[in-house]
Amino acid sequence: MSPRTNTAAATSTWQLGDLTVNRVGFGAMRLTGTAPFDHGVPRDREQSIGVLRRAVELGVNHIDTAAFYFSATRSANELINRALAPYPEDLVITTKVWPGRDPSGAWWWATPAQLRGQVEENLRQLGRDHLDVVNLRVPPGRRAGSIGEYLGALAELRDAGLIRHLGVSNVTSEQLAEALAITPLVCVQNPYGLGASSEDRALLRLCGELGLAFVPFFAIAGSGRETGPAAHDSEAVHAVARAHGVSVAQVRLAWTLHQGPHVLAIPGTGDPDHLAQNMAADALRLSEEEMAHLTSLRPAGAS
């Protein structure tokens, strides 16, 4: 592996517990195909491996993944293992549990007792003896309920040495409060981007006040989610991109990073050119006027 060029290493950092990460990381979901999971055409294996290695060369030391990121012929965790093991000492790999997929690709949701098996699956695929950060990913249908039993099970695995730090994903402020009453956390990973609701913005601010990293997913895709068209690609967003000579995706990432020093980005791609653009977003400085205008945009289709 060639030496790092430190494009991101010279930029701002944040602490995930005792782990220091650069604020622009890498999301592994898209490594397995041209669309997430088993939809679309599988990416070239060597290209995906090359993108991972290039990301680390550019300064990425925070990779977000999951055992359920796989297609018929590709597994994100196994690609990470193949590309980067033996792992750099400063590399932080974050994964998530509770959702799972069987070999056919069908989704299932673990019981608290099954979380250990999901943790061990990630360990086996990544070739590690512990996981740096594990996020408890809350199902869409459980965002009004308790997550205490599940988080307690993960805390036991942390105490057993299988996990270093814990986080939560797709949670409400009430669930975050419940989680913090059970165990220390280092991050909250929730959907966030242009057009975020007032509730989402309040949770982002709360994380800053608590010293927790806020790690948005779908920051580029917006309300279109992972497979739909990006919301807010209005003339206003394009105008900012033209003014800076950058892509719309870079504007959306830069806006997200401007939300606070505790906000991390994990844009994913299987394209080397897009990788370089994403990494450059941290250096993009938006004016107060541009920030205010972008913040005022509403989700596509909102009344």
Instruction: Convert 3-17 to b/e letters by CB count within 10 Å (16 or more is b).
Output: ebeebbeeeeebebb
Q: How many CB atoms lie within 10 A of CB 229?
A: 11
Identify the active-site residue in 69, 87, 150, 192: 69
Strands 19-22 and 213-214: unpaired
Distance CA 175, CA 169 (A): 10
Cβ pair 217, 191 in contact under 8 A: yes
Distance CA 63, CA 25 (A): 6
69 assigned to active site: yes
- Closest C-alpha to 67, from 102, 43, 92: 102
- Closest C-alpha to 149, from 118, 120, 179: 179
Identity of the amino acid at 168: V
**What residues act catalytically?**
69
